[in-house]
Amino acid sequence: MYWATAALILVFSFGCDLLSPPKEPATGFTEFGNIGELYESYFPIGAAVSGGEYGTNSFTYYPANVVSVFSSFVAENCMKPALIQPEEGTFEWDAADVIVDAAEARGAVVRGHTLVWHSQSPAWMTAGTKEEARARMRAHILAVAGRYTGRISAWDVVNEAVTDYGYRTDSPWYTVYGDASYIQDAFDYAYEADPDAKLFYNDYGVVNASKRNTIKNMITELRLKEDHHLAGVGIQAHWNLNWPSLSEIQATIDTFSDMGLEVQFTELDIDVYGGDGSIAETVLTDDLDEALADRYGEIFALFRQNAEKITNVTFWGIADDHTWLNRFWDSTYHNDEFRQNYPMPFNTNHEAKRLYMRITDF
Ligand code: G3I
């Protein structure tokens, strides 16, 4: 009798989980519409891709019917300074050429990411004096943006130059310049290299009022729109199931649109763990698949309502088998360990998820 009672206590103390069957993963869809065509009258729908820089060419890795639904592409890594010019005068063009050529072959637009950033930036570029660094910045931008003149619809000229309350003063560019004027130079050199590209400032957390205001103040203080050819603001949109609110997204769209700037959502993904590194890996259950569909559904409905202010919406990837979120969970305890996340429109089998069906049914 004792053992039976103990077993019951054990079962009920675990909330009967021991009795419920293991959660089955949700099934995907092998038949799906072309989101790029469906959104043609609204804005391009993009995906971050690899051109082979880490061994994977997205255009051959993913099934043709998957990669062909996008009308815009951006290099996830291979156009960043440390990858495209690792040593001064040594350029690695192959992966970037793959992406630009493949996009053009599909009639898709290309976003350039990114010319000046504090991360993935080679140390040699900002060594020495301000004038030496300035000359290297100009040479880098003229070489990279100049190679693709007329082929890039929008450049993330400067990425993540501010914190919530001020300039990112620990940026190697801020350090070697001694102030934020490197941002003005970057936009001037990008315009010199490719006057046809739309020039963007790109950042994360832009929906937070503090950072949104800091970016607005930077744009005003540096006269980036009036004197330095700024065309728009890239909102990275690394969000989750509960944050940000639709009202915060709308306020952010309005803030920059009211400044006469274009708005682009440049790195969209929804972290199902909400950035909480303590949550153990889950499968993509039906409930989670539905929650993702609801979340993406409300976000894309808002995007469509603001189509006259938005000029690109890009997912930061294509399918769940490759997303930075599978490894970025908390660098304190799990640095570079793998935990499957589910932020993308296609699942690990490269089938469309419920969220894809939801945002293409309107
Ligand atoms: O796959 C290689 C592996 O073969 C190699 O052994 C290893 C050696 O370090 O590198 C691995 O590549 C990693 C790559 O992600 C895999 O996709 C790189 O180390 C790693 O640096 C790279 O991280 C990228 C990260 O930017 C770097 O900061 C992510 O892919 C990329 O998604 C992420 O993208 C950034 C945007 O550019 C800016 N906004 C934030 C966004 C997320 O952090």
Task: Let me know the angle formed at the C-alpha of 55 by 110 and 64, rounded to the nearest 5 degrees.
Answer: 55
Predicted local distance difference test score (pLDDT) of residue 332: 62
CB-ligand 1 contact for 126 (6 Å cutoff): no
CA–centroid distance for 92 within its chain: 22
Ligand 1 nearest-atom number relative to CA 80 = 37
Residue 72 beta carbon below 6 angstroms from any ligand 1 atom:
no
| Nearest residue to 320 (alpha-carbon basis) of 300, 336, 334, 340 | 340
Marked catalytic residue, from 76, 160, 262, 351: 160
Residue nearest to atom 26 of ligand 1 (CA): 77
Pocket test for ligand 1, best of 158, 160, 324 (most atoms within 8 A of CB): 324
pLDDT at 19: 59
Tell me which of 49, 50, 53, 54 to substitute to probe ligand 1's pocket, judged by most ligand atoms within 8 Å of the beta carbon.
Answer: 54
Model pLDDT, residue 336:
74
> What is the residue-level pLDDT of the chain in tens, covering all 362 positions?
445 444 444 444 333 445 566 678 899 999 999 999 999 999 999 999 999 999 999 999 999 999 999 999 999 999 999 999 999 999 999 999 999 999 999 999 999 999 999 999 999 999 999 999 999 999 999 999 999 999 999 999 999 999 999 999 999 999 999 999 999 999 999 999 999 999 999 999 999 999 999 999 999 999 999 999 999 999 999 999 999 999 999 999 999 999 999 999 999 999 999 988 888 899 999 999 999 999 999 999 999 999 999 999 999 999 999 999 998 666 666 677 899 999 999 999 999 999 999 999 99
d(CA 244, ligand 1 centre) in Å: 24
Nearest alpha carbon to residue 297 among 346, 362, 249, 344: 362
**pLDDT recorded at residue 11:** 42
Rounded to the nearest 10 degrees, the angle between the axes of helix 130-147 and helix 181-193 is 30
Mutate to test the pocket of ligand 1, among 53, 56, 76 (most ligand atoms within 8 A of CB): 76
Rg (CA), the chain: 22
Distance (Å) from CA 35 to ligand 1 centroid: 26
Q: What is the pLDDT of residue 333?
A: 60
Confirm or reject: Cβ of 267 under 6 Å from ligand 1.
Answer: yes
For ligand 1, say whether the CB of 77 is within 6 Å of any of its atoms.
yes
How many other CB atoms are there within 10 angstroms of residue 146's CB atom? Answer: 14
Residue 262 DSSP symbol: E
